[in-house]
Chain A
């Protein structure tokens, strides 16, 4: 008997109305009595209950496999929760509708089935719980509570969302395209939030996206979410291999069982968006076998969403213009690209283009067709013109050249801004403490960055993105003062870039530039030179070819070379280099902030060279740009305030300095919170300003606060801690609390030694301050011994001609002169004076001190005329108070 024939007849008849059945059976049997009997028996058997086969095998198998009869489980206790009914079952968990008894609130309770099976299983369940716990977003169902039943079954309670799946909601409410995109935006922002916490959803689909009656989007089910950086290799394979995701929304890499990442969610969002617009799925998999479906997901390019919408008669089809549909085609295509590397790099990038679309601006994703950009930009400009009703018509030629130039500049700006936003977002995630306060800050920072590192490692399939992320992480480590890790990251970035087989020399140059910058922080100046020279060599040919990006990069390289010279105390060279950098900076000024940062660096050089007026006026320029760009309450503005304050401080205008510092701290506290290390750094500077006003008690309390934050954030052996110790030492010195001053400076030296190594110049700074304590106590011999060591250290670390070496020699001279060792003292002071005078303004305090000391020594040596010259010089530079 043919089973196929039986199957066909059975299928045709089984759901037919009872009264037609007889006729249908006879018809199908064609007088074949055996077939007819068999068919009738089977049709009748369909209604027979077969408990064993119809129930979940869990029920009988469990009992069968257990040796001893088991008492029935008691009703589980959930603290204040009561279970009402089963909502659904997933791979591992069961979800119930529950009620929180005390406040009568509906909740969803999820239990792990078969928790006993293995620790790995519990771990996976808690992954979802942990994921939810990390997420705090209005569009993500919230975690309320979690615990374990008496029998060890873990459970958690989350927000119960009553709503319709996204597409059904749109259907039911006949949402317009604008409304649909608005809902889609909310979905994206929820997913981006998860990504910010390094959580990939992996199972985005309309049934996991509910919309409540008031139109709020809620993202559910992080059941197979993946914590980036957490290696569940095996379960990973199980998940992907066993198709726990829904094929219609599965990305090619999921079908292939490859690594998933941010790009996987981007793909699913693309499908969701396509479906929202076209009212059907991009690929029709319904009648396909899974094998065919896989092949389609891998190979078949969906038809453009515009055509699908038209064919489907979707409401959106007529609502949009042709050009708008073009953009949406590009948007969907870019989100659902078969190649993960060619998709939007992040949900944010996708979101940005959705916003561009809504604002009638050019898409970032759009193929670089000049005509497109021109038309899009002209149109937008015209619209603005019409709105303002004030623009005179430009000649067509002028308008075109303007838009083309604008388009290019805009491209560059967008790219730069994207990088910056990514970095900023990352830094923000790092440095803005969430709700949880406490000393875990350092932990958070390190954990997050380390997680980033693991994320970067996962990006094997995308070396370009990997290089990007490594470079970002390198910068973060660098900013955290963890130079070794930063170094490793930068090297990894260069390697990843090389592996990308990418011949893009500019990207490599940019990475080398980062490395050079890091080397400067490491005080490895030769290494910095080598990296910067290499970077420049890569850039030069492209600059000759008038590549705008290369020009931009070159001026940044110059800027960094300038910073290197500045760090080495070569202020004149640094000034020239930085001025060159500013001059080379493209006139079109794609990003005013880059230019401002070059000016800021130049201001720093002026500052260190004691040219406070120049420094001050440049900083005010930088401030104007920064405020225009970011508003007044941005931390970058705080940094400029700090520089302005420092300039005032050096000019002895401590009240003004205090004012600037307080403005900066005000921003810090709002932006980062009061217990943030940035706030701490600025508190330390405020402390200095207070010390100088002899407000020692206030100063001490401000500095202690700063020290507390720094230690909690960085541990006790970090350069930032050392710099606060330095300030506290200075306060104690002013107080003439010499013992505690000595203790602070000694600790400072120890910290720097641990952090930077014994040979680093910061150790010399600490020792030099310690020597000053002895000088003040008139223990000149002891001071002299330390100063000699300090001079040697500065010479080795920064060179014989470095300003620090010069200053140390002036101080050494003073300790000798105080011992009445006039000749040796005068010689040392003069040597120091020569070094410093070459680089600093003639009025700086060290030079004044040297003049005084030298005059005193020469007078004692009987060289009155020479002495008088020094005294005169001193008088001519004495501040007219």
Chain B
């Protein structure tokens, strides 16, 4: 997947398009850099996409590349970049045939021990790309929340829809993806 097949790009004129590409790659680099620097400094640390995206914004907000970008717009780009970073990690994981059964334990027992499912993630990514063909905004909504870690209010702000619409659309998109994944399996 390259960034060009991500949907929901707001502008089509070449100038802003290339600006967007530039912004995307800057963000992508930053996210990767952040993720690996975290790994280096503390292999046991937990990494959330939400935190990474926020951190990338903190890092980049002052830079000329991003200076003219609103935080909202940045988040949209960052969600796409994050998706890319994660999918690549999943591909690496798949290729390395490393175990997919390691545990990450948070302090909260109720959300404990989620397995890393690289295959599942790649399948989801494919399904999401298919969804984008049918319902671009819904795909973007999933991308923002799932990969970008945006909250419901943030997603609502990003897409300029109400929070209740976010929830409704999320539910249907989720059902759609669940069905696709079930069919894949």
Contact = CB atoms under 8 A, between A and B. Distances in A.
Interface of A: 1, 3, 6-7, 10-11, 14, 41-46, 48, 50-73, 76, 83, 86, 91-92, 94, 96, 111, 113-114, 116-118, 120-121, 151-152, 233-235, 237-238, 241-243, 247, 287-291
Given A58-B48, A287-B162, A238 B54 contact: yes
Contact of B102 (A3, A70, A118, A242): A70
A111 B46 CA distance: 14
Given A73-B105, A117-B38, A290-B153, A56 B172 contact: no
B126 to A, nearest CB: 13
B68 interface: no
Interface string B99-124: 10011111110110111111011001
Nearest to B108: A86
A289 B89 contact: no
A73 B121 contact: no
29 contacts: A3-B138, A42-B172, A45-B175, A46-B171, A46-B175, A48-B179, A50-B177, A50-B181, A53-B146, A53-B177, A57-B50, A58-B106, A61-B48, A63-B103, A64-B89, A64-B118, A65-B35, A73-B107, A86-B110, A111-B107, A117-B51, A118-B58, A238-B54, A242-B54, A242-B154, A243-B157, A288-B162, A289-B165, A290-B162
Contact of B48 (A42, A45, A51, A113): A113
Interface string B60-74: 011000000011100
Nearest to B34: A117
A42 B175 contact: yes
Top-3 shortest CB links A-B: A241-B71, A59-B114, A58-B48
Contacts of B103: 63, 72
B24 to A, nearest CB: 19
A52 to B, nearest CB: 5
Nearest to B121: A52
A57 B147 contact: yes
A118 B56 CA distance: 10
Nearest to A61: B49
A443 B169 CA distance: 56
Contacts of B28: none
B161 interface: yes
B179 A45 contact: yes
B38 A291 contact: no
Contacts of B176: 42, 45
B99 to A, nearest CB: 7
A76 B58 CA distance: 29
B153 A96 contact: no
B185 to A, nearest CB: 11
Contacts of A83: 107
B55 to A, nearest CB: 5
Contacts of A10: 171-172, 175
Contacts of A242: 54, 71-72, 75, 154
A69 B156 contact: no
A489 to B, nearest CB: 30
B178 A50 contact: yes
A157 to B, nearest CB: 14
Given A6-B172, A66-B39, A234-B58, A51 B46 contact: no
Contacts of A113: 46, 48, 51
A61 B49 CA distance: 7
A114 B61 contact: no
Contacts of A50: 174, 177-178, 181
Contact of B43 (A11, A44, A68, A92): A68
B42 interface: yes
A68 B169 CA distance: 37
B interface majority secondary structure: helix
A60 to B, nearest CB: 5
A114 B89 contact: no
A66 B43 contact: yes
A151 B41 CA distance: 12
Contacts of B42: 116, 151-152
Nearest to B117: A52
Contacts, number: 208
B55 A117 contact: yes
A53 B181 CA distance: 11
Interface residues of B, number: 79
B114 A51 contact: yes
B71 A238 contact: yes
B61 A58 contact: no
B62 A234 contact: yes
Contacts of B49: 57-58, 61
A63 B99 CA distance: 11
B135 interface: yes
Contacts of A92: 51
B44 interface: yes
Contacts of A14: 171
Q: Which of B118, B165, B176 has the most CB of A within 10 A?
A: B176
A53 B39 contact: no
Nearest to B123: A52
Contacts of A72: 103-105, 113
Contact of B89 (A6, A45, A65, A287): A65
A57 B49 CA distance: 7
Given A53-B146, A62-B48, A287-B162, 18 more contacts: A7-B168, A10-B172, A46-B171, A48-B182, A57-B49, A66-B43, A70-B44, A70-B104, A71-B44, A72-B105, A83-B107, A116-B45, A117-B38, A233-B62, A234-B58, A242-B54, A243-B153, A291-B160
A218 to B, nearest CB: 25
Given A72-B103, A237-B61, A241-B71, A3 B46 contact: no
Contact of A114 (B48, B142, B146, B182): B48
Contact of A63 (B38, B116, B146, B178): B116
B169 A52 contact: no
B162 A43 contact: no
A29 B93 CA distance: 44
Nearest to B42: A116
B86 A94 contact: no
B103 to A, nearest CB: 5
A43 B107 contact: no
Contacts of A7: 168-169, 172
B48 A3 contact: no
Contacts of A121: 51, 55
B134 interface: yes
Q: Which of A46, A65, A94, A238 has the most CB of B within 10 A?
A: A65
B1 interface: no
B7 to A, nearest CB: 13
Nearest to A233: B62
A11 B107 CA distance: 36
Contacts of B162: 287-290
B171 to A, nearest CB: 7
Nearest to B147: A57
Nearest to B52: A117
Contacts of B149: 57-58
Contacts of A120: 58
Nearest to B134: A3
Contacts of B50: 57-58
B124 to A, nearest CB: 6
B90 interface: yes
A83 to B, nearest CB: 7
B47 A65 contact: yes
A64 B138 contact: no
Q: Which of B42, B45, B46, B142 has the most CB of A within 10 A?
A: B46
Q: Which of B49, B117, B147 has the most CB of A within 10 A?
A: B49
B48 A57 contact: yes
A10 B171 CA distance: 9
B100 to A, nearest CB: 9
A86 B46 CA distance: 18
B86 A116 contact: no
A237 B68 CA distance: 13
Contacts of B72: 241-242
Q: Which of B49, B93, B172 has the most CB of A within 10 A?
A: B172
